[in-house]
Chains A and B, each alone.
Chain A
């Protein structure tokens, strides 16, 4: 089964609301990363959280990591229409060397 499963698959919220999405994984990791992808474009790196870190902030983004539960969450506070995108978590498994494994993504729609 897939490393990096995201939940929910899709999320629709009003501008100003918070958006939370979760990512679960199966194997030990070096780090976990969150990326955003606008439709038809490449991925933009948002946050990298290392396995020895529990929480990280970047602007309106907050990422948590619970290695005991093998899960991470991404919170977008005070969402804006421009936050509409797909969000992917990607894990760097310890056994996989250089490679990232991407989850299925959460499609977020922020309605103005």
Chain B
């Protein structure tokens, strides 16, 4: 159980394109979803926390207009990287959790490459 599906797994696109990444909890209701960014051989950096039906809470230094997060249902959150540039190239990972006493379950990540 506790499967989180994230797609696409890989995106290569031109500078200026907007890219949407989906994160779905397949067999549980995710009250809270998290979006992380990971640089090569580095740890995960939390970008934002989203609760179903409310606005996402962004971490310091993360541009909310650049990284649009929507958590419209208990099983789906999306991250849209708007007008992506090469410096946005990274590995983006989502996670989902039921309640605060439960662990986060992670998607398989999306490798974003902006040319």
Residues of A within 8 A of B4 (CB): 42
B:93-114 near A, CB below 8 Å:
93, 95, 97, 100, 103-109, 111
> Which residue of the partner chain, among A33, A99, A107, contacts B103 with CB atoms under 8 Å?
A33
Given A45-B105, A98-B100: A103 touches B43 (CB 8 Å cut-off): yes
Judge whether A42 and B108 touch: CB under 8 Å: yes
- CB nearest to B93 among chain A residues: A42
B13 within 8 A of A: no
Main secondary structure of the interface of B (DSSP, over half): strand
Q: How many pairs of residues, A versus B, come closer than 8 Å at their CB atoms?
A: 50
Q: Chain A: interface residue count, which band?
A: 20 to 34
A75 within 8 A of B: no
**What is the CB-to-nearest-CB distance from A101 to chain B, in angstroms, rounded to a whole number?**
8
Judge whether A102 and B44 touch: CB under 8 Å: yes
Bound form: Cα–Cα A76–B111 in Å? 29
Q: Can you identify 19 A-B contacts, CB atoms within 8 angstroms?
A: A33-B103, A33-B104, A41-B108, A41-B109, A42-B6, A42-B108, A42-B109, A43-B44, A43-B95, A45-B2, A90-B104, A92-B100, A99-B46, A100-B34, A100-B46, A100-B104, A102-B44, A104-B42, A104-B43
